[in-house]
Amino acid sequence: MSGSVVLIHLAGAVALLLWATRMVRTGVERAYGDVLRRKLRGTLKNPLAATGAGAGLAIAFQSSTAVALLVGSFVGSGIVGAAAGLIAVLGADLGSAFVVKLLSFDLSLLVPVAIFCGTAIFLATERRAWRQFGRILVGVGLLLLSLQLIGSASEPLRESRILPVVINYLSGDAVTAFLIAAVMTWLFHSSVAFILLVVALAARGLIPAELGVVMVLGANLGGGLIAAMLSRTMPPPSRTVPFGNLVVRGLGALVALAALVWFAPSLGRLGSTAPLQIVHAHIAFNVALVIAGMPLAGLVTRAIDRALNASATTAATLEDREASALDPDALNAPSRALANVTRAVVGVCETVEVMLKNIMELYEEPDRARMDALAALDDRVDRKHAAIKLYLARIAPEQMSEEDVHRTRELLDACVRLEQVGDIVTRNMLAHVKKKLDRGLTFTPEGWRELSNLHASVLNNARLAFNVLISRDIATAQELVREKDRMRNLERDTSQRHFERLREGAKKSLETSSLHLDTIRDLKQINSLLASIAYPVLEEHGLLRGTRLAAAE
């Protein structure tokens, strides 16, 4: 088998590994994300509980990055302190190390079982939770299959004459190997996936244990870099935890690398084979980070917070220039101008998503400072909307094609709907939060669970709508409109259950009845506005009849 064919097979196996990891993560997020978030918020105040919760969440999501961003948002909202948040994220890093350990076992028998059961569940029901559970099982099966494919694809590399030269060079240059691993992990956007690749290659005798451990340390640095980079658009308080995690993991990795180079300790105690030594070194490193990070978390987060606040004035000035993406020099080139508008609308989408996330957290834990911050976000949406409208009006109409005119109308309509969503959140739902806070009202457990499920569906549909706006993907647009129909049924069932509790005379249901029903109405209205973003795409392809989807040919 030629070298190019081997690389093609290996690339395909690695791509399947990345896709399967993402499939499991998104399945868990969609099915159980809100439940896991609520559980996490309740355990972050105790350091040991925070470590355990972070580890458990990382195992569920198969991603410590997702946990870092989630906890960062909690810190930014004032739900938990930065030090406790950093401890939870260090626990998540440890949890992702245990994921690597679990997946390093021989689980080949689970491949057909997981794929078959997952596919059967996904196809047998229309219930969202069960379909996502089936998606998770298929993802697990594909993940394990990808590891087998990596092993098979890398087998011919044993006969390669070039690979030993590369491995020998990297074994003698630990710094280069460390940096390559960090960059590759960042490109993979998954430390779990990269370390599993290293373990699989070590199992074939292609990478020695010493080099594998160096690459694991680089992967830990790359893993911290992923969350820090993804949080760069978040408010400074929300970035404290991801950047603190990067500092702790990065410094820890550098110290461990220096120790390996200078002292060259024996790895025999970590296991009898190279894969075991690599996996156990990864776990030991993250255990050491948790132990060292607990007493240092406060110091690190305070230093990061000061550094972020020092640049906050400059960052805020740049952030408040809503027209920064709306380059006046591009007005005579409609395609460039519309690309600029698309970038600006993406910024509006991100702000609206933050508003939708934060409003339900305020329902659960009202706080006047955070309520004021949410109202300020609506002002930002209004300013961006005004800037976008003015910019679109200034594009030279005589140079616009019919497609440009259509896209202009589509972006403007979407921006109007996004502004309306922001108005509903601040003028209606925020008013409900104030009423709930002033009167000291609480929802029944059943009522709150229903509202949370309804909100989770709206938030998921918001993300679908934003994707449709940018990608104009037909399948996603169809899914979004179908979700509108499902939302209608969910809203009807929720209202019916609420009235049944009223008939039974539940005291809390009586006290919060108007809040409950008004919130349902607001969420339904928001969902309708978001679903309408898909209409131009469907209409363009003849898939929309009135307000219903046409049957696809």
C-alpha–C-alpha distance, residues 15 and 22, integer Å: 11
What are the pLDDT digits (tens) for 108-122?
888 899 999 999 998
Give the chain's largest Cα–Cα span: 79
Would you give the DSSP letter of residue 43?
T
**Mean of the pLDDT values across residues 145-161?**
75
What are the pLDDT digits (tens) for 313-329?
444 444 444 445 677 77
CATH class belonging to 322-549 = mainly alpha
> What would the 3-class secondary structure string for 365-415 be?
CCCHHHHHHHHHHHHHHHHHHHHHHHHHHHCCHHHCCHHHHHHHHHHHHHH
Q: What pLDDT score was predicted for residue 551?
A: 47
Q: What angle do CA 233, 238, 243 make, to 5 degrees?
A: 85
Whether 238 contacts 73, CB under 8 Å: yes
Nearest to 407 by CA among 481, 326, 475, 470: 470
Q: What pLDDT score was predicted for residue 257?
A: 95
Q: What pLDDT score was predicted for residue 323?
A: 47
Whether 138 contacts 112, CB under 8 Å: no
C-alpha–C-alpha distance, residues 516 and 443, integer Å: 8
Whether 267 contacts 277, CB under 8 Å: yes
Would you give the DSSP letter of residue 428?
I
Best-predicted range by mean pLDDT among 16-30, 124-138, 489-503? Answer: 124-138
Of 342-346, 358-362, 369-373, which gets the smallest average pLDDT? 369-373
Lookup result for tokens 């349902």: 520
Q: What pLDDT score was predicted for residue 316?
A: 47
Side chain identity, residue 200: A
Neighbours of 40 (CB within 10 A): 23
Q: How far is CA 269 from the centre of its chain?
A: 37
Q: Which is higher by pLDDT, 207 or 6? A: 207
Residues 6 or more apart in contact with residue 371 via CB below 8 angstroms: 362, 430, 433, 434
Mean confidence (pLDDT) of the chain: 81
C-alpha–C-alpha distance, residues 174 and 476, integer Å: 45
Q: Which is higher by pLDDT, 79 or 423? A: 423
Q: pLDDT band for position 511 (50/70/90)? A: low
Best-predicted range by mean pLDDT among 125-139, 204-218, 297-311, 479-493? Answer: 204-218
pTM above 0.75, yes or no: no
Q: What pLDDT score was predicted for residue 216?
A: 94
**Mean of the pLDDT values across residues 358-383?**
82
C-alpha–C-alpha distance, residues 276 and 271, integer Å: 5
**Mean of the pLDDT values across residues 245-258?**
94
Neighbours of 157 (CB within 10 A): 19
Residues in the chain: 553
* Domain ranges for the chain: 3-313, 322-549
For every residue of 122-159, DSSP letters joined together read HHH---HHHHHHHHHHHHHHHHHHHHHHHHHHHGGGGG
Alpha helices in 324-364 (DSSP H): 334-364
Neighbours of 26 (CB within 10 A): 17
What are the pLDDT digits (tens) for 183-234?
988 887 778 888 988 888 888 888 999 999 999 999 999 999 988 887 776 6
Lookup result for tokens 């894969």: 275
| 158 pLDDT more than 70 | no
Q: pLDDT band for position 246 (50/70/90)? A: very high
What are the pLDDT digits (tens) for 271-319?
889 999 999 999 999 999 999 988 988 899 888 888 877 655 444 444 4
The secondary element (H helix, E strand) that includes residue 427 is: none
| 520 pLDDT more than 90 | no
- Residue 107's Cβ-count burial label (10 Å; 0-12, 13-18, 19+) is middle
C-alpha–C-alpha distance, residues 514 and 267, integer Å: 65
In percent, the amount of the chain with pLDDT more than 90 equals 16
**Mean of the pLDDT values across residues 46-63?**
79
Q: How far is CA 216 from the centre of its chain?
A: 23
| 28 pLDDT more than 80 | no
Whether 214 contacts 253, CB under 8 Å: no
Best-predicted range by mean pLDDT among 108-112, 150-154, 161-165? Answer: 108-112
| 444 pLDDT more than 60 | yes
Q: Residue 526 half-sphere exposure, CB side, CA atoms within 13 Å?
A: 32
C-alpha–C-alpha distance, residues 315 and 522, integer Å: 33
Bridge partners of residue 549, in order along the sequence: 544
C-alpha–C-alpha distance, residues 318 and 32, integer Å: 37
